[in-house]
Amino acid sequence: MKAVPGHLSGEYGLALRTIAGGRKLISDDPTELENPYPLLDGREVKAWSVEWQGRYIDYQSKLISDPKSLEFFQAPKVLVRLISLTSQAAVDEVSKPICLARNTVMVVRSPVKELDNSPFVIAALVNSLPLRYYSFLMLRAGVMEGSHRSHFYSGVINSLPIPKSVYQDSSIRNRLDSLSQGAHGVAKEMLNGDRDVLKLVDSLIGHNLVPFAHLPNSDISGYFGGIGIGSAQVSETGELTSSKLGIIKGHPAVLQYIVARAALEGKVELSKATIENFQVPKEVGVCVAALEQMDLWAQRKPTLFEKLNQIQTELDDLVLSTFTVLMDKERQHIKDRVKEFPLSQLLVANEPGVPTRRIPVKYWEIGERYK
């Protein structure tokens, strides 16, 4: 793959080596901080979407050992997840307030004039099949050399191959920009859909709620472990089970409400305490009405996934075609190779709306990496 040198530039976000002493630097409540700004973590950056989890940083240069200027984070900017098995990028378009990022995120820009003001083109290239495949091979090589992590260094970003035709042909850039904006739009629609249906459900159920354990027909005596949302099933007789050893009993509509709501809220597993205290409507009829709205969205969401996949496929084919040094059989080899195990699993990007595991923000440690 022949590349133009110096095509992309990747720089790390904030390393949180705090000098704040006893002061709080990170909080979910911006009123607790003197100069709050939204703060992103790497897990909140996915292919085509930025899914901020609501944390803020008290951004004062005197509190951070190596601060960056606010101009560095000025939108629009391309964000790449730092620790990943392959490249995942999204454009942050929010200019007010400026969204800052930890060093688990890379801010990617281009020094080349044709791409300097084209963040959606950059995101399209980074998320394309040939660059995802290239990234995987580069990162795997690092892991095999003994780093034991799949980590995007600046050099990896800088070495990503960008075909000359992308610079030379404005029609290609325009199409990449259009496809990228379309993918971001679908991803945003998926995320907004989850949030909107939760607001609608909240308006239906009102405030007449009780913990699940307080319902007369609830029974958690058969509980032996967590309930995994992805494998949870509710029987007609009112038993909630999953792949783990746990059985919860209750009215089927109530149990279905718990699973559907938990999935929309991004929960991966329900613990015993969570199930016991899960707030549910007192009346089954209200649960049924809420379920109808969640089911309508659940039926529509797959069509958005399909639309996103169609955009991704067209984008992959377009970028592959720009690598004119590749023969048709080599392009087909890349397509075939990524369908094989284990690449079929490793090269799947984190899709918009898939639950984001929210970890506590900790300050920098030597050798920090995702567990």
The model's pLDDT over 232-281, given as tens digits with 9 standing for 90+, comes to 888 888 888 876 656 788 999 999 999 999 988 878 888 888 888 999 99
Asked whether residue 124 carries a pLDDT value surpassing 80, the answer given is yes
pLDDT value of residue 221: 77
Range of lowest pLDDT (129-138, 168-177, 199-208): 129-138
* pLDDT confidence bin for 62, thresholds 50/70/90: confident
CATH 3.90.220 spans which residues of the chain? 9-189+304-346
Q: What is the DSSP string of 108-122?
A: EE-SSHHHHT-HHHH
pLDDT value of residue 334: 83
184 or 221: whose pLDDT is higher? 184
> Residue 249 pairs with which residues in a beta bridge?
219, 239
CB 224 within 8 A of CB 246: yes
Residue with tokens 């495949």: 133
In the predicted model, what is the mean pLDDT of residues 113-124? 92
Q: What is the mean pLDDT of the chain?
A: 83
Dist. CA 215–CA 325, nearest whole Å: 67
Structure tokens at 57: 């940083």
User: Could you give phi then psi for residue 56, rounded to 5 degrees?
Assistant: -125, 155
Q: Which residue intervals of 112-169 are DSSP H helices?
A: 113-116, 119-126, 129-142, 154-159, 164-168
Asked whether residue 326 carries a pLDDT value surpassing 50, the answer given is yes
Asked whether residue 307 carries a pLDDT value surpassing 80, the answer given is yes
* pLDDT confidence bin for 3, thresholds 50/70/90: very low
Instruction: Tell me if residue 4 falls in helix, strand or coil.
Output: coil
pLDDT value of residue 355: 56
CA distances (Å), origin 187, targets 84, 127, 151, 363: 19, 14, 25, 31
Residue with tokens 């249906």: 197
In the predicted model, what is the mean pLDDT of residues 54-76? 87
Asked whether residue 68 carries a pLDDT value surpassing 50, the answer given is yes
CATH code for the part of the protein at 9-189+304-346: 3.90.220
pLDDT value of residue 285: 93
Q: Tell me what percent of the residues of the chain surpass a pLDDT of 90.
A: 40
364 or 163: whose pLDDT is higher? 163
Range of lowest pLDDT (26-30, 47-51, 58-62): 58-62
User: Could you give phi then psi for residue 45, rounded to 5 degrees?
Assistant: -105, 120
pLDDT digits (tens, 9 = 90+) for 130-144: 998 888 887 765 555
Q: Tell me what percent of the residues of the chain surpass a pLDDT of 70.
A: 83
Range of lowest pLDDT (85-89, 135-139, 251-255, 359-363): 359-363
Q: What is the dihedral sign for C-alpha 116, 121, 124, 125?
A: negative
pLDDT value of residue 362: 42
Structure tokens at 340: 């094989």
pLDDT value of residue 284: 93
